[in-house]
Every structure is written in structure tokens, then in C-alpha cells.
Amino acid sequence: MTSENTLDDEDTFKILIATDIHLGYLEKDAVRGNDTFNTFDEILKCAKQNQVDFILLGGDLFHENKPSRRCLHSCISLLRKYCMGDTPILFDVLSDQAVNFSNSKFPWVNYQDENLNISIPVFSVHGNHDDPTGADGLCALDLLSSAGLVNHFGRSQSVERIEISPVLLQKGSTKLALYGIGSIPDERLYRMFVNNQVTMLRPKEDQDQWFNLFTIHQNRSKHGATNYIPEQFLDDFLDLVVWGHEHECLINPSRNEQRLFYVTQPGSSVATSLSPGEAVKKHIGLLRVKGRKMNLQKIPLHTVRQFFIQDLVLSEHPDLFNPDMPKVNQRVEAFCQEKVEAMIEEAERDRLGNPLTPEKPLIRLRVDYSGGFEAFNATRFSQKFVEQVANPKDVVHFIRQKEYKAKVKGEEDVDFGQLLSHSSTEGLRVEDLVKEYFQTAEKTVQLSLLTEQGMGKAVQEYVDKEEKDAIEELIRYQLEKTQRHLQQRGVLTEEEIDQEIRRFRESKKNTAEEDEEVQVALNRAKAHRIERGDAPEDLDLSDEPDVSMDSDEDSAPPPPTRGRGRGGRGRGQTTARRGRGAAEPKPAGRARSQKVNPTQGRSIMDAFQAPPKRPSRGAVAAKSYTDEITIDDDDSDDVSFVKPASRLTPASRPTQRASSSSSSSSRRGSQSQSQSCRGVTFDDDDDEEDFDPFKGSSRSGRR
């Protein structure tokens, strides 16, 4: 038996994973215009050479929401060149494809289409650069889907609740549940996770036998309080998360110790910003899955343009120059030129022996000129390297030493279990939230004139009925009333005024007088609105502002994208093998699995529970799945789903997995949560030598 047969038997899924290809980036640039297309060609060629079962893309296949004709033409040509052919497809789709691809005019996987000859299926979610927009909610991936070249999944249009239904695949004895969610504005998705409005549906039967693979395209690093998605938000039954959108290549799987799954971040295949994260060598991954074990082999990309970046702090070289020296600018410029020339020489040495690598590298020198130095002419300086670098206009970039803000409470200090343990806020009143806020706020921001109840009711009117003057009128009315009270009492000193205001405020709490004041203020606000002729407008949550994704703090921001993350319906309520009738066989000579008629699919929507209010994630200490709905069907391949009744919080989770298979504690019920059950290994070498992907812990990655 050959080594290849040993590695890739009939039970092993081979999946090529890549994210953020950004086709069309700088396509009009004379030097860099073909970079994205050359690298995409290399990725598809690698998939064909390794005879993968399918390609999994993590979003941002295109750089623009409306790619140019040249960009679309090149993409379609490459997909047709490498992904169409007579090679048999060796895995089956068991889920209800009408649910998985509900937004497509052809809601079935492309290789089962009788009119197409697909040898390598491509599954992809959309990113923030190529997300659905417009009245029809279409994106470039939908064009490729209609052409039968890409299977676009993971769309969700709802701004209230998301149910992620997996694409269920089986190859031999290996069962793979492929989950995906396209790009959604981070603040919105963060809020939905906190409110328990995101549900991942699971197969009802044999849950412990499925390998759960999840693809997401969101901020992973923290850009703000809610402008990212913490890994702890994701369900703990997942085995591997493929994280798109982040461009730094961190493809080696890292283990999340709270949720006990692994995360791989392939990064982008092209440098779209001259930041340190983009300078990391670019890779794609070859994922092998057999049963519940996986192996990830990283494969270096050779067609990616080299990128070298260095930081130079002038104040750290007092022996060479200081601001008081004569002609210090000339000295600094000469020193910078030496640095740039050294990087160019390093790039040339690194490129030798690799004819696929473009000749001109990307060079960036970031110069910190704080401490009294002055910046020299960057444009004139860059012109010296026009024939040597691919970015002659911005070789040098001047920065000043940043003023570091006080340390913000980091992610490691946040109790996500407690955050997610709150049930949906649908049952909470706005005034209750306002009262809770001011009870826990610092004394310096406590209300002085208003009561929490009055402020809460005013905010409620503003939120529910859009009485825009409600808060202002309440403050104005209460201020007038307090002033009259103070005049009647005849208080004069500042201390007496403060004491009397507090007494006056406390005397009205939870009384009819307080309710009367609020009602008077609301009536005033309503009267003002009627005088102006204004009418409350309906809120449009679909037009939330986009979130900037550029992590390069020192580079000019990229043009704003129009993505709003309006995916598909995300109904994801049932999945089962499509009950299609028999189709005409393919002509002889095509060694393919038999295709079925996609027009006779049988929906099994009743296989899912109706979406109840999502339970608290931290309510119980062990997982349970209840209220299962069965299907009366003779087809043994039909698969039904249930919703998880609860989630484990980090606090209730065991601190480590049992190393023995006889351990009674489990994350999925009866199955042990030992690391050997995961069987996770990955290849850390850049070569492509044969290896045993499921050898054991000796090849395992970092824990």
C-alpha cells in the first residue's frame, strides 16, 4: 500500500481552506495588478494537485462589493479551469439543501446539478468586502453560485435572530457538519450573541459522531467594547473554527481553553495594507478529517509578493544624530536609505530559487521622529527606489510616539459566561436597565435632579415611540420645579442647596407626584412634536453603520466598503438528505457518483423545533438536548436536528479534559472529552513531504 493511500483513504475528508483572497485588489496598478489573480491560480492549482474533496473559503473572495468585469472574468475562468472536470465526488450531502442554499435560484450543491461537471466543489461564505447589498440582497458570490461554480452558504438577513443550519457531509464513515456565517456588522452580531439570539442547530441523531467545522468572517482581535466577536461566544460542541477577516496568518490551530475547540486563522493571500500583520508569510491549509480526528498541514504560497517592514525610532540612536546637530535631516535620510537598501537585499536573497515570487518586493520603513526631529521629504526619498520596489510612493512612513491610554479592561478580565448567562432582554424594561445602570455607576455620574424611574420612562418613550423631546422636556420641567422649590425654601448657601435638592429628589421616589411629573413632561414633548408636524419614523436596523476593518493604525484607511452584512434568511431549521427522484445516468466514462434530480427535493421543516426564547448559557452545568422531533421516513440517510437546550459557561466547565477514555465527565453527553478523542495534529513544516496526519500526540500542535 502506498503512502498516499495510507494517508487519504475512503474515510478521510481532504479540505483546502483559504480566506481573504481579495480578488481585484489594486488591479489597475501597473506592478501589482495581477498579484491576486496569480495567487488565486496557485491556490486552485494546489487544490487540484492534492486531489481535495472540496475547497472552503472564509469570505472576501473579492475586494470590491461590485468587482470589475476583468475581475469577474478572471475569477470565473480560473474556477472553470480547475474546478470542473470528470473527477468523481466521493462524499454525499445529507442535509436539506433547500435550507442550506435557500437564497439560491438553484438550491442544491453544484456537483449534483445534472447540467454541470464539477470535480472540486467550492463552499464559501461572504465577507465584509463582498457582502450582499441592494434591494435584492445580491453579491458577487451569488453570480458565481448561479453559474454553478461556487456553493454560497451561511447567509442571514434577520437582524433579530440567526439560526445556523449546517451542511451535513459524509465520506465513508466520516461525518462532517459544516457551519458558516457570512459577515455581519460586529456590533450587531455581538449584541445578538449577548441576547442569546444566535443558535447553531445540531443533528438529532449520533451527535457525538459528527466533526463540527465552523467558518466565520468577523473581527477576532478586540477593536472596541463590542467591535469584535470573542471566541467564548461560540458553541463549545465545535471542533475547529476557520476564522476569516483577520489578515495575519496564524494558521497553526490554537486551542481555546474555555470552549475547548481549536481556531485556525489562515489570513489573507495578499497584503492589502502595509502593516506588520501582513508581513507574516502567507499560507493556506490542507485539512484532513477522519472520524473525530483532524490534521492541518500548512502550505506556503509562493506567488505572494514579498513584504518587509521595519520600525526606526530616531531617539534611540543618540550616538548617530540628535535634533541639535547641523544638517541632521540629511544624516537621518542617509540612515533611512541604508535601512531600505538592506531590506531590498534581504528580499532578493529570499527570492532566489523561487521563480514564482514577483521580482519587486513591498518595503515599508516606519520612522518615529518624536523627540524634536523633523520629517524629510518622503516623496523625494521614495523616488530613489522606483525601479526596485513595488510601492515607490510610500516606502517611508513618519509617525510620532503614541500616547498610550490607560489600560482598558482586557478580554481576559471579562467573564463571558456571566455576560452570556443573561437571557434575552426582551422581558426587561428600559427603565429597569436605566435604574440598574445608575445603581452601579460611579457617584460622580449619579442623577442629581431626576429619579431613575423618571429617566427610565423618558428613555422608554424615546426608544419605543421616538418622542425625541421626552428626555429634554423631563429635564427642563424637573429643573424648573426644583428651582421653584429652592426659592420657596429660601436656601442660600451651596451646601444647603445640595442637601435640599437631595431631600426633594428622595421625597418623590416611587410616589404619584413622580408619575405626574413624568406624564407632564411627556405631554409637553408630544405637544412640541405636533406643533412641528413631526411624526415618529420607523427604525431601520438594516442600515446600521459599517465598521472599519483596517487594523493598520499607521496606514491611510482604505476606501469605505458598502457591506452591511445582510446575508440570507438564515432559516436553518431542518436538514435531511434531499429525496430526489432518479436522474438520467451520466454518459459512460465519467467515473462520478450518481447525480439526482434536484427539482424533487423533499422539505423536512418539521424536523426542527420552533425557535423558543434562547435559554441561558450558564443555567446548567451539563449539556442536554430535549424535545426532539422525529421524522417518519423510511430513508435511513435522513437527518433531523434539535436545538441545544443550554450552553456551558466557562465557570461550569471542567478546567481540563479527562485524559482517560473511561472518564465519566463529558461535554457532549456520553462521550469523553479527552484530547485523544479530538485527535488534533498539524504539520508545522513548509514542505509537503508525506506524513501520517493521524499519527498521534507526537505531531500534535500547541495546546
Q: Which residues are catalytic?
A: 129
Yes or no: say if 193 and 199 are a contact pair by the CB < 8 Å rule. no
Q: Which three cell numbers stand for residue 76?
A: 470565473
Q: Are strands 210-217 and 262-265 parallel, antiparallel or unpaired?
A: unpaired
DSSP state of 688: -
**Environment class of residue 397 by beta-carbon count within 10 Å: exposed (0-12), middle (13-18) or buried (19+)?**
middle
Q: Give CA–CA dist 117/159, Å, rounded.
A: 37
Query: How does DSSP assign 69-124, residue by residue?
Result: HHHHHHHHHHHHHHHBSSPPP--EE-S-HHHHTTTSSS-S-GGG-TT--BSS-EEE
Cα–Cα dist 216/237, whole Å: 15
Q: Which amino acid is at 37?
A: F
Residue 363: which of 376, 377, 374, 350 has the closest Cα? 350
129, 247, 138: which is closest to 561 by C-alpha?
129
Rounded to whole angstroms, how far apart are CA atoms 580 and 483? 78
Coil, helix or strand at residue 178: strand
Closest CA relative to residue 370, chosen from 336, 327, 400, 411: 400
Chain centroid to CA 360 = 32
DSSP annotation of 511: S
DSSP letters, 647-703, are ---TTTS-SS--SSTT-S--SSSSS---HHHHTEEEE--SS-----TT--GGG----
Can you state the percent helix, strand and coil of the chain, rounding each to 5? 30, 15, 55
Measure the CA dihedral 469/471/472/475, to 10°.
Answer: 150
DSSP 548-572: -----SSSPPPPPP-------B---
Is the CB of residue 564 less than 8 Å from the CB of residue 542?
yes
Pairing of strands 54-57, 396-399: unpaired
Helix (H) or strand (E) holding 336: helix 328-351
Question: What is the C-alpha separation between 696 and 301, in angstroms, rounded?
Answer: 27
